[in-house]
Amino acid sequence: MGWYNKRLAKSIWVFHVSASPCNNCDIEILDLLTPKYDIERFGIRLVGSVRHADVLLLSGVINQKVAPKVRKLYEQAPRPIFVVGIGTCPSGGCCFNDSYNLTPKREDIIPIDLYIPGCPPKPEAMIAGVAKLVEVLNG
Amino acid sequence: MKLSENANQIPVGPFHPLLEEAEYFNLTVEGETVVDIDMDIGWMHRGHEFISEQKTFTQSIFLVERICGICSTSHPLACVHAVEDVDNLEIPERAAYIRTLIGELERIHSHLLWLGLAGHFIGYDTLWMWAWKYREPVLQMFEVISGNRNHYGMMRVGGVARDVDPDRVKALDNILDTVDSKVHMIVKAAMDDPVLKSRLVGVGVLSREDAVAMCAVGPTSRASGVPWDVRKDEPGDAYGMVDFDVIVQNGGGVWDKLVVRLLEILESTRICRQCLEKLKTVKGPILNDVKEISAGEGIGRYEAPRGEVFHYVRTDGSNRAIRHKVRAPSYVNIPTFSASCKGIPIADALITLAAVDPCYCCTERALRVKGEDAGTIDFLTLSREKTERIRREIHG
């Protein structure tokens, strides 16, 4: 798929999956679109449907109610699809590991390719993370 | 409810354009008119109250901060108010001003955020980009004060965690000047805009009676003529020592909610300025040493950008709460949809849902529902088309 990935890297379309976050990473993701950071200049675009997406931005610990829907979104996404975990929640569960409502194995529901830790990560960190993904895609 | 023959059901969510978070609405429509609305919540449930009961008071402040990323001062403030209420603890004067400063800065950034999203929903992306561009200096102020753009971690039982460096007060003053001038420009531009006005006046009206009956709080109730504001009714922290007005409008529609929020931004900048002025002169400690919390009950209230946040804490003399109850403003504001959404065209439903600022935010995630003969219905497009229609009528 090397040739395909290289073409993908030119313009990544991302879809945002909020799986029970605290809303902060989501706001910072939206912040990327606004004039200060303006990620569209890198060809990165937030799209309205998961069927158009190359990358899923996942934020939040995944609770039991939202888990089947997140799984469904992941299955509906066209392949190849890369999943970026935004924030501390997908990486380590933040402060919610004691909760009764978490799904035990996050990786079974949606395998994550790249983690961007931080609570919330700064927009610069998110841009750096996606730039690393582009590097990997370019081989 | 029995559906009539012409009624159709439109499911909205859990992943859809209006809501950054996953939420689910089921709209029943007859033709273009919304006749009923049903909600399903719980997609975000993480069991905060349960986790908080296993953490110490200081740890649980960190936790309640993560209830909502936009209200990440309101919840900790209400939480420390509740714990302080158990023993009637006092906080130092300087800490009170820092708390109020942080709280009001949050209100500015939250209202600007809402304004941007509201603009986005009705097809005013310029307003979105503007509002969010000028929200950045506010986040910059947070970074100067606390080191983080969101989730400031400033509150502690008995005071605040970090002092505002006297050298930085000057810098903050300068940034506030920028915010002030830009906010005035946006407020003037938004309130004078004929298209915005005719698009929003009389849309999604929540009557005063409904607002009282449904216990609506915050800008949602103040736009319907109910002058409830915890900052005035029960002034905690430095709110008793600063001068500000409670903004009340009587229309109850989306336009009135917009006006209330815009004018509140101006009030908040006034409060921030007074706090910064006081921080130059008021010296002293910022944190009282609290050795232990005795057994008892306490309640804490704070006026979050969306309305009253309420925390209840019961303690048994140990270092953690044995019961911690949280009531967030959106919890009581969301049911007002059933009053404000009935009988309005579906193109207005989106902005009416967004107008109470139900702690959601937006990406361009359109939901498409198969209609019987109309092909597909796109919520966001419907809303934007109506704005475009009005724009053409006004500008010819």
Q: Which amino acid is at A129?
A: G
**B326: β partners:** B311
Those residues of chain A that have pLDDT short of 70 are 1
User: Would you state the torsion angle of the CA atoms of residues A24, A28, A31, A37, taken in this order, to the nearest 10 degrees?
Assistant: 160
pTM: 0.89
Q: Is B152 on the interface with A (CB under 8 A)?
A: no
d(CA B390, CA B263): 25
User: Would you state the torsion angle of the CA atoms of residues B183, B185, B189, B191, taken in this order, to the nearest 10 degrees?
Assistant: 50
d(CA A16, CA A12): 13
Least confident of B34-48, B74-88, B303-317: B34-48
Q: Which residue has the tokens 């949606």?
A: A110
Verify whether the Cβ–Cβ distance A27 to B46 is below 8 Å.
Answer: no
CATH of B48-331, one of 3.40.50.9100, 1.10.645.10, 3.90.1330.10, 3.20.20.70: 1.10.645.10
| Spans of all domains in chain B | 7-44+335-395, 48-331
pLDDT of residue B363: 24
**Structural domain span for residue A25:** 2-95+103-137
Which among B272, B361, B351, B298 has a CA at the least distance from the CA of B86?
B298
Q: Which residue has the tokens 């009624």?
A: B7
Six-digit token string for B297: 């009950």
Verify whether the Cβ–Cβ distance A21 to B150 is below 8 Å.
Answer: no
Q: Which of A15, A18, A31 is the best substitution to test chain B (most B C-beta atoms within 10 A)?
A: A18
Q: Which of A15, A95, A102 is the best substitution to test chain B (most B C-beta atoms within 10 A)?
A: A95
CATH label of the domain that carries residue A128:
3.40.50.12280
Q: Is B350 on the interface with A (CB under 8 A)?
A: no
d(CA A5, CA A139): 8
Q: How many other CB atoms are found less than 10 A from the CB of residue B319? A: 12
Q: Is A25 on the interface with B (CB under 8 A)?
A: yes
Find the residue in B nearest to A67 (Cα). Answer: B43
Backbone angles phi, psi at B378, to 5 degrees: -115, 115
Q: Is B147 on the interface with A (CB under 8 A)?
A: no
Looking only at the bridges linking them, the beta strands covering B376-378 and B368-370 are antiparallel
- Structural domain count, chain A: 1
- A130: three-class secondary structure by DSSP: helix
Contacts of A132 (CB under 8 A, 6+ apart): A114
- What mean pLDDT do residues B369-395 have? 64
- What mean pLDDT do residues B121-150 have? 89
pLDDT tens per residue across span B174-210: 999 998 999 899 888 888 888 888 888 888 888 999 8
